[in-house]
Amino acid sequence: MILDKYRECNLKDVRLEGIPSVKMNRFLTHRVLSEFAKTEIFAEARTPIELRNDDEGMPAGGMWRGEFWGKLMLSAARVADYTQDPELLDFIQKESHRLMAFQDPDGYLGSYTDKERVAFNEVTGKMMDENPSFGWHCLWNIWNRKYIMWAMLMVAKVTHDQEILDSVKRQMDQLIDMMHRQNIPLYITGNDQIMGVASMSLLKPLLMLYEETGVQKYLDYASEMIPDWDREDGKGPNFLRNAFNGKELWQWYPNASFWAKSYEMMSCLDGLLEYYRVTGEKRCLDAVAAIHENLAQSEMNPMWDVGFVDKFIGAAHYPNAATELCDTIHWIRLSYDLFLITGDNKYLDYMELAYFNAFMAGVYRDGSWTAFSIRAATRHEPNFQCNCAYNHCCVNNAPRTYMDMAAATVSSDQQGTFQVNFYQDATATLDGVKFVIRGNYPVGDTVTVTVSSPDAKVRFRKPGWCPKMDVSQDGNVYTLQFDMASRIVHRSTENIAADANDPNGWPYKRYQCVPMAPHDSVILNYRKTMAATMMRGPLVLARACRAGAKPDQLYSPDTVNGKPGLSLKLTPRPNEVCWGCWDAEILQNGKLLEAFPVCDFQSAADSMFGAPKGNTFSIWV
């Protein structure tokens, strides 16, 4: 086993606080802690597994509803670890036993009646081509099973329930034995249009189960998977070779909008990092680090997430921007694992920027739901999947990001030096040393960190965006002063995607998320050219109704992008519904070009409907 460069806090020893935690607590209460969550939300998620109807009425393929229970329970297990709420701990244990009642004698537990329906063949593939479900080769059996096993493993770790762990082992044993008996490698299973990455993402929970049990069979199966990402024939995605080919990821193979499924691919990369931890195989770490840098350059959108609504298509080259919340969640997770393993603070920068912008914008302020597609302008788009009223991939995944950010608040290196990583108001204890962080960061620019032990060796992460961070000490209280660097961020006008403005192209349709009338503001304000954005510290700023902007101040086809001599002046502006609000002035060589009110991006439209005070906005200038 390879030790990480940093150790994180135990979740039970951290509390996220301040204004961002208000939204978080509402969300965790509604989605996990409430009686409604336990009786209604979980019951709906459990139903496809109880009825095994994800392949009902489908001669080939099948649906993905079986993932919902696993994603929801993964979140619930981590929240239970965080809160130590006795009722929630009791619930996740009993709910896992409820699910175990549906497990077959051979160990299978899933949402498909045909447990062996894992791959398309020539006949079933033709069926899907002639009458495709959802317009693609939809088959999610192993993906669904992965989430059930992963979630139950986490419940077993939190509750120390051996029966639940034994159930997970029987599930994994049945899957491995079935795949060997059928002589089917994982990389050809599931949705074959996305190169097997959904099924291959089993790698991480498989290795976590090996780490928990020491059963060699699980490591052996993981080792069987790795050569299929290191192929002589070049069959995709071939991570271990393509990582170093010098091409942007979306250029690895034709038709990226079909195969480059971002969330599933990042899940596989996280599995490769776990394989490095277990085996020390350095090329796995090197490949993931190279691909992460590739994505940061070619796929970074102005909300500081990667991709364009669940696909890697060269998002940095498009004038418009929209991102799926699940992608944000997994970009943060992937960045966090890379930080823990390598100790490189640049990965914390990516986490912070994605968290305060794309992620928090996607969580609704009333705690009821999340957006599916977070847009750069007009409004964000909710989504409902598989005729479910209470469950959705992004909504069920979202609590895990709050837990990742909590665990990452303070870390300790192998020499015992503490590093304060993030500055949201929080209280965290690690190795008996308590850290109290206050300052309303990053709306506030002064943070105090009180450290309980005068002997603790402490350093403070300087954010990559920050030109200057002053640290002073008075006894056990440290004061950090951040230069919040109000600025105009220009976007490159070189190499704009060829299909950026094609009304029949996949990006144009995906930006809509759902079919829309031609007069919808999402369509009317679809950008034709690159535009600049505004930032203050790690916060993207938005012209928004909630900030006090008038309708004629929200959208304009004109832009200051590329103009020389620009500066951004911000003056605090009172506002009851936005976390941060300012009067903005764009100056060119000291001369006023434009003035309007702005707010932090996450406050601009974090609700399904218009309340409070409308939810229309634009980040473009």
pLDDT (0 to 100) of residue 514 = 85
**Angstrom distance (rounded) from CA 536 to CA 565:** 18
Which residues are CB-contacts of 446 (< 8 A; sequence separation ≥ 6)?
Answer: 439, 479, 480, 481, 482
**Angstrom distance (rounded) from CA 323 to CA 61:** 27
**Angstrom distance (rounded) from CA 602 to CA 360:** 5
**Angstrom distance (rounded) from CA 140 to CA 148:** 12
**Angstrom distance (rounded) from CA 350 to CA 421:** 12
Q: How many CA atoms lie within 13 A of 517 on its CB side?
A: 3
What's the maximum distance between 2 C-alpha atoms anywhere in the chain?
Answer: 76
Q: In the structure, what pLDDT confidence band is assigned to residue 517 with cuts at 50, 70 and 90?
A: confident
Structure tokens at 521: 């503001």
pTM flag (> 0.95): yes
Over residues 457-469, mean pLDDT: 98
pLDDT (0 to 100) of residue 135 = 66
Poorest-pLDDT segment among 127-136, 213-222, 316-325, 409-418 = 127-136
Q: In the structure, what pLDDT confidence band is assigned to residue 515 with cuts at 50, 70 and 90?
A: confident
Q: Are 297 and 360 in contact (CB under 8 A)?
A: no
Q: Is the pLDDT of residue 132 over 70?
A: no
pLDDT (0 to 100) of residue 611 = 83
Residue-wise pLDDT for 576-597, tens only, equals 999 999 999 999 999 999 999 9
Identify the residue whose tokens are 């480059």: 260
Which of 61, 50, 226, 45 minimizes the C-alpha distance to 151?
45
Identify the residue whose tokens are 């906005």: 617
**Angstrom distance (rounded) from CA 58 to CA 182:** 21
Which of 195, 183, 277, 280 minimizes the C-alpha distance to 235?
195
Identify the residue whose tokens are 């909590």: 406
Which residue type occupies 316?
A
Q: How many CA atoms lie within 13 A of 264 on its CB side?
A: 26
pLDDT (0 to 100) of residue 134 = 64
Q: Is the pLDDT of residue 568 over 70?
A: yes
Which residue type occupies 231?
R
pLDDT (0 to 100) of residue 298 = 98
* Angle, CA 396 vertex, CA 393 and CA 400 arms, to 5°: 115
Task: For residue 394, count CB atoms less than 10 angstroms from its CB and return exposed for 0-12, middle for 13-18, buried for 19 or more.
Answer: buried
Over residues 428-444, mean pLDDT: 98
pLDDT (0 to 100) of residue 238 = 98
Q: Could you give the strand order of the β-sheet that contains 418-420, starting from the edge strand earlier in sequence?
A: 6-8, 410-413, 418-420, 458-460
- At 569, phi and psi to the nearest 5? -110, 130
**Angstrom distance (rounded) from CA 410 to CA 427:** 10
Q: Is the pLDDT of residue 204 over 90?
A: yes
Q: Are 191 and 139 in contact (CB under 8 A)?
A: yes
- Tell me the CA end-to-end span of the chain in Å, nearest whole number: 49
Question: Bridge partners of 591?
Answer: 588
pLDDT (0 to 100) of residue 518 = 87
SS3 596: strand
Q: In the structure, what pLDDT confidence band is assigned to residue 488 with cuts at 50, 70 and 90?
A: very high
pLDDT (0 to 100) of residue 133 = 64
Over residues 400-427, mean pLDDT: 98
Q: Is the pLDDT of residue 32 over 70?
A: yes
Angstrom distances, CA of residue 157 to CA of 67, 110, 163, 176, 213: 20, 21, 11, 22, 11
pLDDT (0 to 100) of residue 166 = 98
Over residues 392-397, mean pLDDT: 97
Q: Are 458 and 531 in contact (CB under 8 A)?
A: no
Q: Are 575 and 581 in contact (CB under 8 A)?
A: yes
Task: Tell me the average pLDDT of the chain.
Answer: 96
Which of 401, 365, 319 minimizes the C-alpha distance to 71?
401
Which residues are CB-contacts of 474 (< 8 A; sequence separation ≥ 6)?
Answer: none
pLDDT (0 to 100) of residue 519 = 87
Task: For residue 208, count CB atoms less than 10 angstroms from its CB and return exposed for 0-12, middle for 13-18, buried for 19 or more.
Answer: buried
Which of 168, 12, 4 minimizes the C-alpha distance to 77?
12
Q: In the structure, what pLDDT confidence band is assigned to residue 125 with cuts at 50, 70 and 90?
A: confident
Q: Is the pLDDT of residue 315 over 80?
A: yes
Which of 400, 402, 382, 425 minimizes the C-alpha distance to 605?
382
Over residues 257-265, mean pLDDT: 96
Q: Is the pLDDT of residue 395 over 70?
A: yes
Residue 2 DSSP label: P
Residue-wise pLDDT for 53-64, tens only, equals 999 988 899 999
Residue 605 DSSP label: S
Percent of the chain topping pLDDT 70: 99
Question: Bridge partners of 481?
Answer: 446, 470
Q: Which helix (H) or strand (E) holds 345?
A: none
